[in-house]
A and B are shown apart, each in its own frame.
Chain A
Amino acid sequence: MKTVFTWLYELLCGANDDLPEFRDTIFGSVGLASLLLALLLAALFYLLLGRWRHVWYKLSHWVVTLLVCLVAGFGLAFGIARQTLGIFNGYAMLFAVVNGIVLMSYFILFSLLFKRFSVYAKRTPF
């Protein structure tokens, strides 16, 4: 799992040989946490709210959730990188932005997977 996340983030952000903590700790933990967070948000959107109440199911709701993913992905990477490194440099910034996009992508993929199980959001986003 860690290898997969390392491969993914180095593909998107490039390798950083000066800070081996990224490869050793950050990529793995951020990657797993992001994946689980996207899964949680998608389950919340499609399986919990999407089946339970007719309150959060429209395309506009989905877009807001997607933006939440972006912010959460950024914040997650930012927090873990800063906690691990004690500093926040340009590479960490790039990583945080990329992770926001990656978390959004996970959410989109989970949306495609989960929407068929929803009642109110089964045709969201399309």
Chain B
Amino acid sequence: MRVFIFGIGGTGAKVLRSLTMLLASGIRINDSSDLTLVPIIVDTDAHNGNTARTRDLLRSYYTLRRTFVGAQAASDAPSFFNTQLRSFNRLDATSSDAADLDVQLNFQNQDDTFANFIHYHGLEQQDKDVLELLYNDSLDEAPELHLNLNVGFKGNPNIGSVVFNDLKNQQQFKNLESSFTATDRVFIISSIFGGTGASGFPTLVKLIRESDNANLATTKIGAVTVMPYFNVDAEETSRIQSAIFDTKTKSALSFYAGDQHMNSIQAMYYLADKDQGGSLRNVEGGPDQLTDAHLVEFLAATAIVDFIGKKDDELLVPQCYEFGAESGGNPLTIGAFAEHTKQRYFRPLAAFAYAAKMATDLIPHMRAEAFYNGKELNIDGKLGVPSEYQKLLQFFAEFQKWSGTEMSNKDNGRAFLSFYYGDRDHLNQLLHGKPIPTGFFNKGLTQAKVAGWLTKNEDGLPKDRRKTEKYLDMLYMTAQQCLAELGQLP
């Protein structure tokens, strides 16, 4: 089973980032061993900071899975990085061992202005006049007609819908269209209150439903559309204004409600968060648009997992879904979520958090342990693959930043406290709201206790496995023991 996941615009990329973290944590999405996700970032702002960060993270995931899990490993295996990813432009079975993961859909003419894109200068005067009625033609103040597309649509869905319509003529989209099979599915991530996502989402649904490939035209579509969940600093000159987020949302929702194709989406997930106290830096696009992760983006990623986990017969009739926590509060903690959410999503994340802490902070100080030795895992020699080992540590560090620092940012509006990585010599306080009890005889998850588990787990692994696979398995098994010691989530 393959699922094509389109992440449209900045929010799309950020939700894909959260999804990548979930996949890295070893979440078992469904019972399919050959489940393959095909992430596709759709954004004309190719150099956008959020987009570039997600692109790099997905590529890291791909490389790490090949090195530490094995390219042929099953997607439902009990392991970190278990789910298989594949490039959208290398979909044939023989190219599963591709060196890198290509995730970004290229727009032709993306460096042009909108006027050039629609061949404005070659139009008859009367057509130009109509266009000037529809689009602001000034060069300086809030340009629309002369907007350079390489910074996205700057919150203008009226431009985005025109540009996205051209996707059907792009070779990459045609390739994707032709290789789509009956068992494949599509999931689309977008925000509704900006430009790229709001316009790209309905246009993409239209292209899919009107495809010449019947498999694609009739495929099961899932989508999450994120409604306002943060504010940006008010700047008079900026095209992005929090004050009109709600207006744009209402406008888009009313369009979605009346659109035949949008109503054919089998699983439509809506997310919003009204508690928006903070304010993020107002950047219209480009490399500087790099914002902290947000809880709502993570919850949007869980919608993807939920959709893929649904059986075909659960998707016969279009349905809408919303997400609710058991209690509110700001900051929010894991304890605020329902038991199902904790078990399905936060438990794997907690295991990965333990592994990240062990790999980055504890293991480098365990030189006396057997597994550290050059004849075992050769930690000093970076497992014999210095580049990939470094990449794994960077991934763990990125996860710690994503979960521990970024999502707890008060400027997000709704801060989320999940994991705390500050302690140097134990893991007793890793989960917010659930310290591991200690006493005179039991010091909890100390470095020595964890070292013992790591050593024993490594010793029990088959001798003929690659060092890299043994290293990740050792971490996975030990993280499960940490979870068992923790007991119930808060």
Contact = CB atoms under 8 A, between A and B. Distances in A.
Interface of A: 53-54, 57-59, 118-124
B456 interface: yes
Interface residues of B, number: 13
A54 B451 contact: yes
Interface of B: 368-370, 373, 375-376, 448-449, 451-452, 455-456, 459
Nearest to A58: B368
A54 B459 contact: no
Given A58-B368, A59-B368, A123 B452 contact: no
A24 to B, nearest CB: 46
Contacts of A57: 368, 370
A54 B481 CA distance: 16
Contacts of A53: 452
A123 B451 contact: no
B370 A121 contact: yes
Contacts of A58: 368
Nearest to B453: A54
B453 to A, nearest CB: 8
B370 to A, nearest CB: 5
Given A53-B452, A120-B452, 17 more contacts: A54-B449, A54-B451, A54-B456, A57-B368, A57-B370, A118-B370, A119-B455, A119-B456, A120-B370, A120-B455, A120-B456, A122-B376, A122-B459, A123-B370, A123-B373, A123-B375, A124-B370
Contacts of A119: 370, 455-456, 459
Contact of B376 (A54, A118, A121, A123): A123
Contacts of A54: 448-449, 451-452, 455-456
Contacts of A120: 369-370, 452, 455-456
Nearest to B457: A119
A117 to B, nearest CB: 11
A123 B452 CA distance: 14
7 contacts: A54-B452, A119-B370, A120-B370, A120-B452, A122-B376, A123-B373, A123-B375
Contacts of A118: 370
A45 to B, nearest CB: 13
Contacts of B370: 57, 118-124
Nearest to A50: B370
A30 B252 CA distance: 94
Nearest to A124: B370
Contacts of A59: 368
